[in-house]
Structure 1
Amino acid sequence: MLMKIKENILAQLFVIYTRYLVGSGFVFASIVKIKGERFTTVSHEDAPFGTAFHFFETMYQTGIYWQFLGWGQLVAGLLLMTQRFAKLGAVVFFPIILNVFVITISMEFAFTPVITFLMLMANLLLLLWHWDELKILLNLTPTLPDANRLENKKIWEITGWILFLMTAGYRAINTLYNPILWMGMLVLVGLVPLVIVWVKGKKYLRF
């Protein structure tokens, strides 16, 4: 059943862009930590104990741990966005986003738990997508997919690297950023391979 779904072009496109979406979200959030900066320009050292602001201020003050979290998010996001290493990315991504989700439901984070829950569900979907290969981790016989599938085309890997560099670069050089501008640039670049695939059609896909 799963193998049949994985041969569907629309399903493959959905998975490809899900990797871009959740991966870029992690990369975007990681840079500020790697730079050793707060999420906000305002210090929350005097925030009430047990609040979300106090929690993040405490993590920020640890220094090395704060940057460690950033590097973990960066690596997980990059692996997903490259497409080539998406299976490993989905595995690395899971414990991080699960931890983030539990944190957001443990404190008052307004609408944030909804976002982290959706990211967690997206990650579980990606793990399910790769289950035929990942089940080797449980000493089960893996099933290798068709190498000529749409999701394995080089164009998605190239696009992933471009999106990664755009996201990391934009966040690294901009302390004050415009999320609408950032997302707009990613959408435009992300649509390019889709247009190419659409124009070249079945001859390109070898279906």
Structure 2
Amino acid sequence: MRGKDHNLTLYYEVLLEMTITTKLDTLHAAVTCNKWMRYFTTFTRLALVAGFLPAGYVKIIGERFTDLHNNQPMGHYLEALHHTGYYYTFIGYAQIFAALLLLIPRTVVLGTLIYLPIILNICLLSLAVRFEGSLLTAPLMVIACIYLLCWHYDRTKYLLPFNTPPSTVLAPDSKFPKWFFAMVLIVFLAVGFTVTHVFNLMPRNTLTDCETQCDDSTNPAACKAFCEEIHNKGMDLDQSLNKYEHSLKK
């Protein structure tokens, strides 16, 4: 009986896996045969390419990535990164390489797999130091990479921990996927709203920009002191934030 029950359990597990993979294959085939979805995918690829080519070129020629002041939190990081020598150049070549692979249909998946960890690191860095220069674009680029991996599910599915049947092939479809593009707009607005409202105080790129937040602050003097510490004194971001938040409790 135990053997029979075990075999029955395995049967249901295999059946469940086949059901999931079959549904995913069918969904993937339905999506990829739509011409509007193909247009959007091409746009996504080119947008990611445009995001890395200039950034990578600047690093390869050895120039500093931005003109942020060294006292600014992101400026601290970029200045240190600029002085790492060939590591700085290596990142540039990696960005260029990933971007070029995205231009070639046969190497899109490889390019995305290289692109994703780089942009994910930039995304986390932007959130950590509250850098508004890539606070919106970096999360969207991470989502774009995940989208491309889903688009090429017929290739990436072999990385998943379950068996996959042959891909389903459907006839080309020219119907405009309004619900998909509505979801794209919703995601864009949701990410934009979240990253612009998640922090009540930002270091901004310059002292003047930082102080524009102080008029709406509950403690304008503490806000201006925060900006002064960040941009003129080069103090640690977390320490300055803790000092500012402590002043609000008084």
Q: TM-score range by the shorter chain?
A: 0.5 to 0.7
Q: 1:133·1:143 contact (CA, 8 Å) conserved in 2?
A: no
Which one-letter code corresponds to 2:152 in the other structure?
A: H
Fraction of identical pairs, as percent: 34
For 1:32 and 1:9, locate their aligned partners in 2 and report how far apart those are by CA, in whole Å.
36
Of 78-87 and 100-109, more deviation after overlay is shown by 78-87
Partner of 1:100: 122
1:137 aligns with 2:159: yes
- Flag structure 2 segments of 5+ consecutive residues without an equivalent: 1-26, 174-250
Query: Aligned to 2:83, what secondary structure does the other structure show?
Result: helix
Query: Aligned to 2:135, what secondary structure does the other structure show?
Result: helix
- Which among 65, 68, 75 is matched to residue 53 of structure 1? 75
For 2:84 and 2:56, locate their aligned partners in 1 and report how far apart those are by CA, in whole Å.
16
Partner of 1:21: 47
- Superposition deviation, residue 82 in structure 1: 2.0
Partner of 2:208: none
For 2:139 and 2:50, locate their aligned partners in 1 and report how far apart those are by CA, in whole Å.
16
Partner of 2:101: 79
Query: What is the TM-score with the length of structure 1 in the denominator?
Result: 0.63
Q: 1:135·1:142 contact (CA, 8 Å) conserved in 2?
A: no
Judged with a 3 Å threshold, the aligned counterparts in structure 2 of structure 1 residues 34 and 143 are, in CA distance, closer, same or farther, namely farther
Q: 2:49·2:102 contact (CA, 8 Å) conserved in 1?
A: yes
For 1:43 and 1:123, locate their aligned partners in 2 and report how far apart those are by CA, in whole Å.
28
For 2:99 and 2:34, locate their aligned partners in 1 and report how far apart those are by CA, in whole Å.
25
RMSD of aligned residue pairs (Cα, Å): 2.4
- Superposition deviation, residue 132 in structure 1: 2.2
- Superposition deviation, residue 71 in structure 1: 0.9
User: Deviation per CA, 1:86-105, whole angstroms, max 9, x where unpaired?
Assistant: 11111111111111100100
Q: 2:29·2:167 contact (CA, 8 Å) conserved in 1?
A: no
- Superposition deviation, residue 131 in structure 1: 1.6
- Flag structure 1 segments of 5+ consecutive residues without an equivalent: 151-207
- Superposition deviation, residue 141 in structure 1: 3.4
- Which among 127, 130, 136 is matched to residue 114 of structure 1? 136
User: Deviation per CA, 1:96-132, whole angstroms, max 9, x where unpaired?
Assistant: 1111100100103125211101111111110111122
User: Deviation per CA, 1:28-61, whole angstroms, max 9, x where unpaired?
Assistant: 1100101111123x585xx23x710010000000
Aligned length: 145
For 1:95 and 1:84, locate their aligned partners in 2 and report how far apart those are by CA, in whole Å.
20
